[in-house]
Structure formats: structure tokens, C-alpha cells
Amino acid sequence: MTDPRTYLYRMISVLVLIALIIGILYKPILFAFLGNPLLNGVIVGVAFIGIGYVMRQVMRLGPEVRWLTDIQRTKSLNPTARKPVVLATVNVMLADSRHDRQLSALSLRSVLDGVAARLDEGRDISRYMIGLLIFLGLLGTFWGLLETIASVGGVVEGLDLGSTNFEQMMSQLRTGLDAPLDGMATAFSSSLFGLAGSLILGFLDLQLGQAMGRFFNEVEDWLSAFARYNDVSDTGASSAGNAALAAGLSEEGARAMVTLAKAIEKSEADRTQSREQLAQLNVSLATLTEQMADDRRIREQLAVLNTQIDQLTKQLQESAKEQNSVFTSEVRALSKAVLGTAKQTKS
């Protein structure tokens, strides 16, 4: 944020320069001031009041700038801080929790209109004082002209045209011209001080307007960026809100439309997430099916292997029985042969 004291320093520099010029031209200015001290004193007093008021209006922007700078730095509203005057609508907007940090086009325009109205209200008195200085200068001009006309008429009527004393007539004319000259001094001096005061106060009011304009532009840029940030954060909701506002809905209706759009968008996101989860579940089921098919083949192979083992066991048992029967028959034949040999040996 631009510090408004920059414009205050400009004003002080110009006033110092004017003071130097007045110091250099002190005698002619004093002579003009004495043409009508009462009216010229009123004009100078109004000019000083206007200068003080304009400088006060510039200094009033300082607390507003500091309050807004604190908001931008801390990203939060301090409830214990002094509430601003010019930025009262911004303070209300930030303190209103119903907005949920959302700022639509209508809200932005309303807030900026409130700030602009307060800034323009501060310049009304300075503009009036500029016009008042011009009016006082013109008032002194016509006042002096009326005095001059009346005095000239009195001088003409007081001349004794029938007198033969030319020196006496010129003396009367010289004495009578003092009043018209005083009227002319009043006219020209009041115009001088009125126009000079309005010129000085007009320049100061111009600096005040630049300070207020710069302040308003920076507030507008900050609020616009803030609104665009909220719009970008939720594209669907912002487009729905803008469409609602463009269709002529009220602020509450637009906010309800934004909420509905958020709910629809969230539902769409949930549905997309559900589809992704279903796709992952289908992949897992396919993998499990393949594993089950592999398990089925293994079980079938194990069943075939068990059958073959049973057949082999039966074959081994039959072979063992045959071998036992052959062995038994051989042993019996051998026993009979041994017995027969033993009998033959005894006989």
C-alpha cells in the first residue's frame, strides 16, 4: 500500500515555496491586504481552514492504510483493533461469517461503492471552500466597484463647475478620488487573495484527490484479486454463481446456487472415486479368479496323483503277495527236498 504521507510531503513543500514567495513579496502583499483588512482577513482565514482540512483528510488515510496492511500481512481480522472509517464496508464484509470468504461481483461492487462514497464525502468540504474563496473574491470585487461608482458619483456632484479657482477645483477632485481608489483597492485586493487562495487550495485538493484515488485503486485491486482467488479455488461454483448473478438472481439466490453447484461437484467427484474403486475391485476379483483357477488345476492334479499313488500301492501290494506266495512255495519245496534227503540218508 502507498503511504499517503508522500502526498502530504508534497503539500508541505508547495506551502513552504508559497511562504518563501510571500516573504519576498511581503510589502506589496501587505499593501494589497490593507486595501480591505476585514474582507481580506476573512478570505485568508478561510484559506487556512481549507488547507488544514485538506491536510487532515490526507492524514486520515494513514490509519486506513495501516489497518489494511495488517489484514494483508496476517490474513485475518483482528477484532481488538480500531475499526476503520473509510473501509467500514470492507470490515463488515470480512467480519461477516456468512460470506465464507466468498465475494461475488455484486458484493464487490457494493463494498467499493461504500468506500468511494466515504472518500467523496471527505472532499465535498474542500471543494466547497474552493468555491467559497472564489465567491469571496468576487464579492469583494463587486463591493469595491459599487464603492467606486458611488464615490465617483459623489466626486462629480461635489465639483463646483462654476468656480473660477482651478486649483481649488483640482484639490476637491484629488480629495474626492480617495474614496474611489479605496473601492478599487478593495475590488482588486479581494480578487487577488480570493483567486490566489482558491489556486493554492485547488492544488492541495488535487493532491488529496490523487491520494484518495491511489488508495481506492489499491483497495479495488486487493478486493478484485481476493474475489478472483475465491473464483479460481472452485471453478464450477464460481461459474454457477456468475451465471446466477448474470440471470438477475438475488445475492442469497446466487449464494444458494453456488452451494448447490459445490454439492453437485462434490457428488460428481465422489462418483468418480467410486468408479475408480470399482475398477480396482474388478482387477482384484480377476486376479483372485485366476488364483482360484490355478488352485483348481492344482487340486485336480493332486487328485490324479493320489489316484496314481493308490494304483501303485495296490500293484505293490499284489506284487508283494505274489512274491510271498512264491517264496512260501519255494520254502515248502525246499523243506520237502531236505526232508527227503534226510530220509534217504538214514536208510
Cell of 167: 486649483
Pick the closest to residue 201 from 39, 25, 57 (CA basis): 57
Confidence (pLDDT) at 47 = 92
Average pLDDT of span 103-131: 79
Average pLDDT of span 47-61: 90
Confidence (pLDDT) at 305 = 76
CA dist 155 and 176 (Å) reads: 5
Q: What is the DSSP letter of 84?
A: P
Per-residue pLDDT tens digits for 281-310: 778 777 877 877 777 777 777 777 778 777
Average pLDDT of span 199-225: 85
More confident residue, 238 or 123: 123
More confident residue, 78 or 47: 47
pLDDT above 50 for 39:
yes
CA dist 299 and 232 (Å) reads: 60
Say how many residues make up the chain. 347
Cell of 294: 490355478
Q: What is the DSSP letter of 25?
A: T
Cell of 303: 487328485
How confident is the prediction for the chain on average, in pLDDT? Answer: 76
Confidence (pLDDT) at 20 = 94
Q: Is 15 exposed, middle or buried (0-12, 13-18, 19+ CB in 10 A)?
A: middle
End-to-end CA distance of the chain: give it in Å, rounded. Answer: 147
φ and ψ of 25, to 5 deg: -100, 40
224 Cβ neighbours under 8 A, 6+ residues apart: 108
Confidence (pLDDT) at 15 = 92
Q: What percent of the chain has pLDDT over 70?
A: 74
pLDDT above 80 for 195:
yes
* pTM to 2 decimal places: 0.58
More confident residue, 181 or 325: 325
Q: Are 49 and 129 in contact (CB under 8 A)?
A: yes
CA dist 62 and 86 (Å) reads: 11
Pick the closest to residue 65 from 122, 121, 4 (CA basis): 4
Per-residue pLDDT tens digits for 221-261: 777 766 543 444 444 444 544 544 444 445 556 566 667 77
CA dist 63 and 83 (Å) reads: 10
